[in-house]
């Protein structure tokens, strides 16, 4: 099964399995990854699933759509390169990736 890795603010990381099509947010919530609250269930109403996607994982994660991009102004962190609401990142068939960074302000 594909894996997604969450880099935590304390320098640690968590890697979990997620089915193709499952969101990176739901995989985090289902595996109790700290810092991904999923407060609105991924309805683009809370911005509580904000992550940063480092290169070279951005191509795999894709680009934000307009509503997601707007909601990125509502996060507790500053905008930055690779910022995404991870409910909007769907797992692919790729066995590795994406990897995402959880900001300290989010944890
Ligand atoms: S959990 Fe609400 S937008 Fe991601």
Q: What is the pLDDT of residues 53-85, one digit of tens each?
A: 999 999 999 999 999 999 988 888 888 999 999
**pTM: predicted TM-score of the whole model, two decimal places:** 0.93
* Alpha-carbon span 38 to 44, nearest angstrom: 10
106 vs 60, residue with greater confidence: 60
CB of 100 shorter than 6 A to ligand 1: no
Q: Where are the domains of the chain?
A: 3-106
Measured CA to CA, the distance from residue 50 to residue 38 in angstroms comes to 9
Domain spanning 3-106: CATH 3.50.50.60: no
Among 40, 50, 75, the mutation site with the greatest number of ligand 1 atoms within 8 A of its Cβ is: 40
pLDDT at 87 over 80: yes
């Amino acid at each position: 099964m594909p894996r997604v890795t969450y880099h935590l603010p304390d320098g640690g990381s968590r890697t979990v399995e997620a089915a193709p099509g499952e969101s990176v947010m739901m995989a985090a919530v289902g595996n109790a990854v700290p810092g991904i609250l999923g407060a609105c269930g991924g309805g683009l109403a809370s911005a509580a699933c904000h992550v940063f996607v480092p290169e070279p994982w951005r191509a795999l994660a894709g680009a934000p759509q307009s509503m997601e991009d707007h909601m990125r102004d509502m996060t507790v962190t500053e905008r930055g390169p690779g910022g995404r609401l991870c409910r909007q990142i769907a797992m692919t068939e790729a066995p590795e990736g994406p990897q995402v960074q959880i900001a300290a302000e989010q944890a």
